[in-house]
Chain A
Amino acid sequence: MHSNKYVTVYTVIMTLVVSVVLAVVVSGLKPIHDDNAAVYKKREILKAVKGYLGSDLDKMSDKEVLDLFDKNIKQVVIDANGKPVEGEKAEDLDMAQEEKKPLADRHYPVFTFESDKGTFYLVSIRGNGLWDKIWGTIALKDDFNTIAGASFGHVGETPGLGAEISDNPAFPKQFEGKTINEDGKYVSVAVVKGGIKKPAHQVDAITGATITSKGVTEMLDRGLRIYLPYFESLKK
């Protein structure tokens, strides 16, 4: 057995060595981590308009993604009333942090993508799945009615079931061409089980993922509604 003094000194030295080394590594790698996170986020956003990029998003290098984002995308941050907020960048907005604020204080990002195939408005939405948060980016055409594309993400939905919203490209693809308004009134797009009755506003649910599908419906309805006042102001 070692003496208490030996054990104490051993522990202190061990803790110091480990924490100093880890601190150095973390701060050394931080710029790389931040760059990677930024590229990842931009790829997730661009996924919603991947049919209009002109090249395959998966094959684009990180630099090409950043260039495209800088050149073709305008960023606006809006407040809960749909008024643009000065001095904030949409790409720096963290939806998870916004969610912790009271409803009236939340800010929302709008990315305007301009390409030779038209102008698209990309908005972020966030809601609840079965186990944890789900989110998505919806791209609307400049009539503010037709969905040009969608992409979804999640924290921990069941693989093969709820996780199909992001794993299976066929699910987000269903949203292309759907409309969010009917006779000038907002109706959103619903994920429904067992047969689509209104093809313009409904998509097929994933078998076995009832709660995730309901979560997507709720997220779309509530999420897109927030951006409506801003779209109205753009129409004028």
Chain B
Amino acid sequence: MAEIATQVEQEKEPFFGKKERKLLTDPLSDNNPITVQVLGICSALAVTTLVNKAFVMAIAVTFVTAMSNFAVSFLRKGMPKQIRMIVQLVVVAFLVTLVELALKAANYPIWKELSVYIGLIITNCIVMGRLEAYAMANKPWRSFVDGIGNGLGYGVILIIVAAFRELFGKGSLAGFQIIGNTPDYLIDTTKNSFFSWYMPNNMMVIPAAALFLIGSIIWIQRSKNQNLVDVS
């Protein structure tokens, strides 16, 4: 785990103060679960071909991290230490199953495409990582905020990568067709002479492209922020 929470609990703190704000914004940049903690890479490679898919995945992961952080933090005092990990796993698996059932009822075609990866949220390192690193040592409300923050940090990277892959691999963005070789697209490369050279990049569709993109994001982020250079 990249960080271990060592905050001292204080009396009478505001409901949503500086610390909560930091918990929410830190994972978006300086402590991003994907680019800095390097957790949850597996699903980031798999579900980033389309923005819509990445968006649903981001919501699902945010829900699971937030709710499992909250539940585990709530249960942390009565939880038998011998079976700590098993209890955490049950909580996570329970929430993930709920998410999957809800998605199957709400949007069947998206469920059909994502079902394997939704199930794999159980093994997403971000969820377990936050439970062990944060929820086991902090109060429920803060753990909940921490879960939201980390879920969003994951989601932001997922959507950035998906936007690149969908735009250059399929010529569309969130299902809106922008450039391609049929009249359905905004720029029809068969008619528009300025873009007649354009071909979709098939490499963007395979998972390797996501690896390069995430690598580039990590590179750019570290070159801008010297504090991160010594982290790993």
> How does the 8 Å CB contact mask read for A3-23 relative to B, with 1 for contact and 0 for none?
000110011001100100110
Determine the residue in chain B with the shortest Cβ distance to A10: B80
Partner of A36, one of B79, B80, B108: B108
> How does the 8 Å CB contact mask read for B163-174 relative to A, with 1 for contact and 0 for none?
000000100000
> Is A25 at the interface (CB under 8 A from chain B)?
yes
A36 close to B82 (CB less than 8 A): no
Give the bracket for the number of chain A residues in contact with chain B.
20 to 34
B97 close to A2 (CB less than 8 A): no
Give the bracket for the number of chain B residues in contact with chain A.
20 to 34
| C-alpha gap A158/B97 in the complex (Å) | 27
Q: A158-B206, A160-B205, A160-B206 are in contact. Are A1 and B81 (CB under 8 A)?
A: yes
B104: which A residues are within 8 A, CB to CB? Answer: 29, 33, 36
B204: which A residues are within 8 A, CB to CB? Answer: 160
B82: which A residues are within 8 A, CB to CB? Answer: 1-2, 7
Partner of A39, one of B80, B83, B102, B108: B108
A22 close to B94 (CB less than 8 A): yes
> How does the 8 Å CB contact mask read for A25-52 relative to B, with 1 for contact and 0 for none?
1100100110011011000000000000
B203: which A residues are within 8 A, CB to CB? Answer: 160
> Is A159 at the interface (CB under 8 A from chain B)?
yes
> Is B224 at the interface (CB under 8 A from chain A)?
no
A29: which B residues are within 8 A, CB to CB? Answer: 101-102, 104-105
| C-alpha gap A40/B113 in the complex (Å) | 12
> How does the 8 Å CB contact mask read for B65-107 relative to A, with 1 for contact and 0 for none?
0000000000000111111001100100010011001101100
B206 close to A37 (CB less than 8 A): no
Q: Which residues of B contact A (CB under 8 A)?
A: 49, 78-83, 86-87, 90, 94, 97-98, 101-102, 104-105, 108-109, 112, 169, 182, 202-207
27 contacts between A and B (CB under 8 A): A1-B82, A2-B81, A2-B82, A7-B82, A7-B83, A10-B79, A14-B90, A15-B90, A22-B94, A22-B97, A25-B98, A25-B101, A29-B101, A29-B102, A36-B105, A36-B108, A40-B108, A40-B109, A159-B49, A159-B205, A159-B207, A160-B202, A160-B204, A160-B205, A160-B206, A170-B182, A208-B202
For the complex of A and B, 3 pairs with smallest distance between CB atoms: A160-B205, A36-B108, A2-B80
